[in-house]
Structure 1
Amino acid sequence: MARSAVVVLHGGEEHNLARPRRLNLPLLRMHGFLRGLTRETAGQGVAIATVRYRHRGWNGDRADAAQDALAALDELSKALGQVPTVLVGHSMGGRAALRAAGHPTVTGLVALAPWCPASDPCEQLAGRDVLLLHGDRDTVTAPADTHAFAARSRAAGARVCGYTVAGSGHAMLQRIPDWHRATTRLTTALLGLQPLPAETASALALPPSSPEALTLPLPRQPRTAPALPTST
């Protein structure tokens, strides 16, 4: 029986009422994250789920992706009970995760290059752990918008830590191992399966007015040296 859960939300479009295809690029982009999470939580009583959107877009005030995320959380609660749940979302999925984090089962979230308009609310994040990762070369969703949203969320009572992924853009195609490793590490820590990285824990404990909590550099994954051939 699952004791906790992770819900993964992929990206989408600003406006599009069409139904997503079963296999689409935003969903495929999350498969590496799903593999890492599945591997690292094996045997730990963690249910891992993805959200199938009804529409490809956010679609203004309809906020379709957020509504789908909330519906999925309700369904998960009926199936598993009120288990602690962590959301992982990219781009539009990050925006949906931030909006849906007020659900009573959600304890924290990891948002990857999230879409953070200035008009979006943040009061629902009070009491949640909110970890944000954004590439400094992102030209689709602005890192500055994420930083501003993070600051507002801290003032509203959320525990927020922000990482800058130097040299990476919106699609996370640069430094892919770093994105995967960090997301898995942070998510499993939010689930209580291991301690938070020291710099994350320190950042979450800083006062809301401390800007250094929002600009941590994401460490690079050490490269493994190739094995040397052995002589016989």
Structure 2
Amino acid sequence: MAQRALPLPTARLGRAVRTAGAPTAVSGVVLLLPDGEPYSHRRPSPLSYARQIPLARTLARAGRDDGLTAHVVRYRCRGWNTTDAQLAADAEWAVDEVVRRYGDVPVCLAGHGMGGRAALRAGGHPAVGAVLALAPWLPAAPDAEPEPVKHLVGRQVLLVHGTNDARADPELSFRLAERAKKSNRDTCRFEVHSDGHSLRQHHTEVAALAADFIRGSLFAHTYARPVADALAAPPPLGLRMPLAVGFGKSLGR
């Protein structure tokens, strides 16, 4: 009989991703939260971790002059696991670890899929200034408790979702953004038309959007017009903003 793999004893931060020429002092941190599964006690997938490295490098490069550092979080296990919400707990631990290592610096939680749900759930941590949820997986069962949103007040919140996502229903992220916008006007959402769960088709535009949002949220840079317009627009317009092809090129990235 096959034995179930034991979870890691503790969550960990992956090695810091920085760009040559960045200031020695760390002035802000983005924590990337990989995708996971609804229920599993298996060890985290190395592939899910590896998929976040290119985005971590892009964000570190974009925030080089601001002293931005990126870490990919290594979970204890790959499952959310119902009320245990283990991925969210690991995200909260990761923010505490950032504070321990770097002091009082602003933090952005940036998660994909199940990691997007973890970013939204852990976004109420006092050190978190921004939350980025890419194709967030949210429970679809009719009797599922709605995800909390009031703890996101005071944070900049951006959701990005492909319209052809077959793994995480984009309509559920719209509904969550709609509820969040009622208590936190600094909430917006972009739709990536014809893209799927991995957001590979328009990955350049998605990465550029993420970089612009994080630099504006953590370091008070002026947002590019699409982000500024989305944050200012009332629902549903500000929650169904199309991500323009060529957005990355327009930012010179």
The answer, yes or no, to whether TM exceeds 0.5 is yes
- SS of the aligned residue for 1:191 comes to helix
The TM-score normalised by the length of structure 1 is 0.89
Separation of aligned partners in 1, 2:82 and 2:233? 34
Residue-by-residue CA offset, 1:55-97 (whole Å, 9 max, x unaligned): 1110110000000000011111111112111111100110000
Instruction: Mark the CA change 1:158 to 1:104 in structure 2 (over 3 Å): closer, same or farther.
Output: farther
Aligned: 1:216 with 2:238:
no
Separation of aligned partners in 1, 2:205 and 2:125? 29
Separation of aligned partners in 2, 1:223 and 1:205? 21
In the TM superposition, residue 156 of structure 1 has moved relative to its aligned partner by: 2.5
Partner of 1:72: 94
Separation of aligned partners in 1, 2:244 and 2:91? 30
Please tell me whether the aligned partners of residues 17 and 55 of structure 1 are also in contact (alpha carbons under 8 angstroms): yes
In the TM superposition, residue 158 of structure 1 has moved relative to its aligned partner by: 4.9
In the TM superposition, residue 47 of structure 1 has moved relative to its aligned partner by: 2.3
Separation of aligned partners in 2, 1:47 and 1:28? 17
Give the 5 Å matches for 1:86-97.
86-97=108-119
- SS of the aligned residue for 2:26 comes to coil
Instruction: In structure 1, give the amino acid aligned to 2:179.
Output: R
Partner of 2:210: 183
The TM-score normalised by the length of structure 2 is 0.82
Separation of aligned partners in 1, 2:218 and 2:248? 27
In the TM superposition, residue 98 of structure 1 has moved relative to its aligned partner by: 0.3
Partner of 1:160: 187
Give the 5 Å matches for 1:46-125.
46-117=68-139, 119-125=146-152
- SS of the aligned residue for 2:64 comes to coil
Separation of aligned partners in 2, 1:223 and 1:155? 30
**Which of 141, 163, 172 pairs up with 1:145?**
172
Separation of aligned partners in 2, 1:75 and 1:211? 37
Separation of aligned partners in 2, 1:217 and 1:191? 24
Gaps of 5+ in 2: 1-24, 140-144
Partner of 1:15: 39
| Range with greater deviation from structure 2 (148-157 or 186-195) | 186-195
State the aligned residue count. Answer: 220
- SS of the aligned residue for 1:127 comes to coil
Instruction: Mark the CA change 1:158 to 1:49 in structure 2 (over 3 Å): closer, same or farther.
Output: farther
Partner of 1:204: 231
- RMSD over aligned CA atoms reads 1.8
Please tell me whether the aligned partners of residues 209 and 247 of structure 2 are also in contact (alpha carbons under 8 angstroms): no
Gaps of 5+ in 1: 225-232
Instruction: In structure 1, give the amino acid aligned to 2:93.
Output: A
